[in-house]
Structure 1
Amino acid sequence: MRLFSMPPVFQALKKAAFSLKRRTALFLSQALNFPGWKQSTRKLPALRQLFAFPRSLTFRERVALSTGIALTLAGLILIGSVLYVRETVTVSARGGTFTEGVSGQVLFINPVIPATTADRDLVVLTYAGLMRYNAEGELEPDIAEQYALGEFGKVIEFTLKNDLKWPDGEKVTAEDVIFTVQLVQNPAVRSPFFTQWLGVEAEAMDERTVRFTLPAPFAPLLHATTLGILPKHLWQDVEPENISLSELNLKPVGLGPYRLAKFERTREGVFISFTLERNESSRRQPYIDSVILRLFETPQDALSAFTRQELDAVSGISESMLNDITLTPGTHVMRPPMPRIFAVYFNQTLSKALADSVVRKALAYATDKNKILETLGGQEAGEVLNGPLPKKVKGFTNELPVYDYAPEHSRNILEADGWAFPEENTSDNTEGETPRMRRKGEEPNVIELRVTITTTEGELENVAQTIAEQWRAVGVGVDIQVLPAAELRDTIEQRSYTALLVGVDIFPDPDLFTLFHSSQKFDPGRNLALYDNDNVDDLLQEGRKLQDPDMRQGVAQKVQQLIAQDLPAIFLWSERFHYIVDNRVKEVTIEFLPASQHRFATIEKWYVVTKRVPK
């Protein structure tokens, strides 16, 4: 009994194959020794005989022959492909273009006076400093070959890499470094890095060696040496007070991985895009041939362009924006932490109520930080803070007083300290509501518990509204002052606010000196709370002198504990940088971001083109 019957089509092919075998043998014997022909000495048929062979076959035999040849070729191709994949590996290759969308405009592509986010992005791509950050946010040499510390940290000596040249062929020397630092130190230039280099003396020891001498040890100066270096021979004829007017601000010449090839702008002079190409003078040679930064008016516009697949990446967006869109499967979102903290800074000199430590503590208990993160789009927007340092920054400690959201406790401590409600309600100018506001003291020396939160437009305005609602619920009168960025800067310089809601950048290496030392109360210092504590001052000065990282971190932890007890500010959250990248762009790794522009710190390792090479 037959268990299996071959399908008719295969039976026909089998029959045709046997017939083909017989015919082929007959054809070859005839071709080589045909009656009436002169016997051939060939061992193989002639080419014209081979071409005639198919015509001697029936249709079925031709089908069988064609099928056999096709299957043989397919098998050979498959075997070859498997062997090729098995014996080779995919690696990065030079070529391709990377396009990113950023919001804002470009003013100065100049490492000494960058004014906008787009400025700083282009500076990092086109200029190089003595040091730079890696993907983990750690410092490593850039155009410096090495550095050494001396005199207990008061002297730092850098040696430049050998045979560095500017793109125009001029030699890079220590004089270029000194020229750049002295520009930053010149008050007429108005560099945002002025305070970092204050009091530092720079001198050339030889053509490749530059020495910085500090008035006192200052370990965080190494972070300041990420400053991009300018070519002295191009900038030396520009007067410091006119540096912002120079056309060289749109003709960057640096040692970064890319150089400016062209830019586009509208008839009105608004920049649309900047195209960069590989800088052959850089020691960091990238795989990607060209980088295009497209400029958009708002982050939402940039995000829309990304969803239309016009961009490979988009930056400067928020968690709330991400919640409003659906990303394609071929993209991924990166959320590296940043050393940028958001807080409400109290100016106790302008408010008797805020000078009361009980009031500050009550406000801390009345603040729901998790609710604030929800206002920003969710818990992925950032990380709740209890002190002035985020988790990823060296020196962070969990051993701080924690003011968890407890509105009832807030009311109780205010009541116990004499902050009571008057017999009649007091209007708080809030859309028809008339919440009650606490007061303290007797007429005519009554102090109202009223606070004005000053902030800027955008998401921080929404945060201010959330905080105001929470504080009003415990009996605090709250007004909100929303200012454009320029007016807010003037307000900060004059310290003309009672409660300031802003974000502040800090060094990854803990240095809270400019934020909380009493000598930094006024502009250009950044002590926004006008905080004054002798013990904190002493610790901050000690921390700047220490070269041992562990000892410096220990001092930073003590400072945080004192600040958290005094509550000169309510620390709300630390920021995460939101970066959406198309999956075709490989090796984009960001573990920690010292500042948003440093997402390009390892761009020379990114690639969009691949090739296969033997293992």
Structure 2
Amino acid sequence: MARLVRWQALLAVLGILAVGGLLAQLSLTRQAVVLPVRGGSYVEGIVGTVQTLNPLLASNDAERAIVRLLFEGLSRLEPDGSVTPALAERWEVSPAGTVYTCTLRSGVRWHDGAPLTSADILYTVALVRSPDFPDPNGLAELWKRVEVEALDDRRVRFVLERPYAPFLSYTTLAILPSHLLRDVEPAALLQSDFNRHPVGTGPFRVAGMQEGSKGLSVLDLEANPYFYGRLPYLETVRFRFYPSEEELVEALLGQEVDGAFGLSSVALSRAGSRSDLVLYRTYVQACTILFLNTQSPLLADRRVRQAISYGLDLPALLNELGEPVFPANGPISPISWAYKTDLPPLQHDVDAASRLLEESGWHDQNGDGVRDRDVRSLELTLLTRDIPPERQVVARRIKEQLAMLGIAVRVVIEEDPTVFRERLEARDYDLLLYGWGQLGRDPDGFALWHSSQAGPGGFNVSGFQNAEADRLLEEGRTVLDRDERTRAYWEFQELFQREVPAIPLYYPEFVYLVSSRVRGIELTPLNDLGDRFRTIAFWYIKTQKVILGRSRPIEPYRPGEQP
């Protein structure tokens, strides 16, 4: 009996050793990893509401952001201004740069299952070109000069009047379904049921909605099963709309929503008491700029404009805002493919500024603290709007800093938008503190800086007229070769710093607060607020543990890549 017990004990020990050896072998040849899988719902809170889900009629930030999940264009704009295919599979461009031929992706379907064809592209462009189309976003300006024809169901030809290198950046125009809208007159589009029940080709489609007293209160989206690209990990996205930022913060604290975008610093401070929120920062490529009216007799001398540039202490100026911002440097976005990375930043040098003013004949002759020349004092009028409110702070700080140079500034904060537009059109100012929201697109700066745009109706609000600048801007928008365009824009940025027609100041930063249960989020600088959803296909909530063999390379999961 004792011998039997000893044998049983021995066998048990051997069994334990064998199992242990097997587990050790498995641990050497296998590894457990956690990978994202499909499932889960993300809920975002938004201040305000939406009146339309038609991308061509979207006119507020909430509408423009949401339609980015529902619709696509032929092309997609990347953060650096590059253009990549979306509904287009490929583009062919004629040697002269005036004919663009697009081949559509095969197998693309609308949310209702109908196929995408060239008829949809023709319909969308014809709609935008129609004089009866209600055009809140100024889409017709370019498209009315482009002829479009279908070569077959998948190929579309665009013919331009003249070479225009930025053309592909305009093919991000959201495409609408002709099979649902071709019988709707352009003038009647605002009343169409389509605006609340849209059908697009984007990664999500409308699943349901709840009406409130002032518009939608809840909007539910679900992953589009027909989507030609990678299906999102998230099964659904819900938007909840709130009448005020205070109520949105309460919803965050009550875990009614997972995330919120663009909260003020006060709201962020309150929301910080929810411990599971992760803060993501980025900036929007919409620059606040101090424009110098070069047609003003007081600013016609380049040395005076250079002195103003030297006289501004940009870090001190931006520190006064109370909100985080990203400093600007030159007329092109710092992440653009055309940005000159060795462009020196704005230098604060009061002594250099004073020398330039002295050289240009401006002296404080009567000791009143303001420089004079002949019988005129160096007194400038700075015009700005009352919104956004931080511009009022910037305007007053500019006044204080330039006073140190002997330059008097009268700040005019215009509350009436009509009066402001009239003064803008008449160029009734010396300095203009204003924003420009197109710096994240193609680096083409023709509208802002070419002399042909300096007159009434043009956007050259500095009145800048320089033959060399004109030549470089024309070259940059007509040649198709990326290297040649880059060279032209590098030279233009250097000329811009010498001539100082304006002083780009800053880009507004935005904060995205999202629950830590939502992972895979990556934010890049935004061309518009809808760009926060650029990588939403890779956001995930649910995960699964998988055993991988050592013979298989193990790569960390990264948003933007296949796991």
Range class of TM-score, shorter chain = 0.7 to 0.9
Return the alpha-carbon distance in structure 1 between the equivalents of residues 217 and 57 of structure 2.
21
1:568 corresponds to 2:501: yes
Paired residues of 1:110 and 1:123 also in contact (CA < 8 A): yes
| 2:297 corresponds to | 352
Return the alpha-carbon distance in structure 1 between the equivalents of residues 423 and 498 of structure 2.
24
1:586 corresponds to 2:519: yes
| 1:375 corresponds to | 320
| 1:552 corresponds to | 485
| 1:394 corresponds to | 337
1:470 corresponds to 2:413: no
Letter in 2 for 1:503: G
Return the alpha-carbon distance in structure 2 between the equivalents of residues 213 and 323 of structure 1.
53
Q: Count the aligned residue pairs.
A: 527
| 1:176 corresponds to | 120
Change (3 A) 1:571 1:275: same
Change (3 A) 1:450 1:298: farther
Q: What secondary structure sits across from 1:597 in the alignment?
A: helix
Alpha-carbon offset, residue 344 of structure 1? 0.9
Paired residues of 2:43 and 2:257 also in contact (CA < 8 A): yes
Return the alpha-carbon distance in structure 1 between the equivalents of residues 522 and 487 of structure 2.
30
Alpha-carbon offset, residue 187 of structure 1? 5.0
Change (3 A) 1:305 1:168: same
Q: What secondary structure sits across from 1:224 in the alignment?
A: helix
Give unpaired runs (5+ residues) of structure 2. Answer: 6-15, 549-563
Alpha-carbon offset, residue 196 of structure 1? 4.0
1:449 corresponds to 2:382: no
Return the alpha-carbon distance in structure 2 between the equivalents of residues 477 and 573 of structure 1.
23
1:203 corresponds to 2:146: no
- Aligned partner of 1:277 among 208, 212, 222: 222
Return the alpha-carbon distance in structure 2 between the equivalents of residues 495 and 597 of structure 1.
34
Q: What secondary structure sits across from 1:390 in the alignment?
A: coil
| 1:115 corresponds to | 59
Letter in 1 for 2:232: P
TM-score by length of 2: 0.83
Aligned pairs for 1:10-21 (under 5 A) are none
1:249 corresponds to 2:195: yes
Paired residues of 2:122 and 2:149 also in contact (CA < 8 A): yes
Alpha-carbon offset, residue 474 of structure 1? 2.6
- Aligned partner of 1:91 among 35, 46, 49: 35
Q: What's the Cα RMSD here?
A: 3.5
1:193 corresponds to 2:139: yes
Paired residues of 2:109 and 2:116 also in contact (CA < 8 A): yes
1:490 corresponds to 2:421: yes
Return the alpha-carbon distance in structure 2 between the equivalents of residues 226 and 545 of structure 1.
20
Alpha-carbon offset, residue 519 of structure 1? 2.7
| 1:140 corresponds to | 84
Paired residues of 1:401 and 1:565 also in contact (CA < 8 A): no
Query: Quick one: percent identity of the two aligned structures?
Result: 31
Paired residues of 1:323 and 1:377 also in contact (CA < 8 A): no
Return the alpha-carbon distance in structure 2 between the equivalents of residues 588 and 200 of structure 1.
38
Q: What secondary structure sits across from 1:339 in the alignment?
A: coil
Change (3 A) 1:238 1:423: farther
Paired residues of 2:103 and 2:156 also in contact (CA < 8 A): yes
Letter in 1 for 2:379: L
Paired residues of 1:203 and 1:211 also in contact (CA < 8 A): yes
Alpha-carbon offset, residue 213 of structure 1? 1.3
Change (3 A) 1:401 1:612: closer
| 2:259 corresponds to | 313
| CA offset digits 1:38-68 (Å, max 9, x no partner) | xxxxxxxxxxxxxxxxxxxxxxxxxxxxxxx
Alpha-carbon offset, residue 419 of structure 1? 3.0
Alpha-carbon offset, residue 172 of structure 1? 1.9
Give unpaired runs (5+ residues) of structure 1. Answer: 1-20, 26-71, 426-435
Alpha-carbon offset, residue 490 of structure 1? 3.3
Return the alpha-carbon distance in structure 1 between the equivalents of residues 511 and 146 of structure 2.
36
Q: What secondary structure sits across from 2:68 in the alignment?
A: helix
| 1:607 corresponds to | 540
| 1:263 corresponds to | 209
Alpha-carbon offset, residue 312 of structure 1? 2.2
Paired residues of 2:99 and 2:157 also in contact (CA < 8 A): yes
Q: Which stretch shifts more, 89-98 or 522-531?
A: 522-531
Paired residues of 2:321 and 2:390 also in contact (CA < 8 A): yes
Q: What secondary structure sits across from 2:381 in the alignment?
A: strand
Change (3 A) 1:120 1:348: same
Change (3 A) 1:475 1:256: same
Letter in 2 for 1:418: G
Return the alpha-carbon distance in structure 2 between the equivalents of residues 323 and 550 of structure 1.
46
Change (3 A) 1:260 1:194: same
Return the alpha-carbon distance in structure 2 between the equivalents of residues 309 and 523 of structure 1.
52
Q: What secondary structure sits across from 2:96 in the alignment?
A: helix
Return the alpha-carbon distance in structure 1 between the equivalents of residues 184 and 209 of structure 2.
23
Alpha-carbon offset, residue 421 of structure 1? 4.1
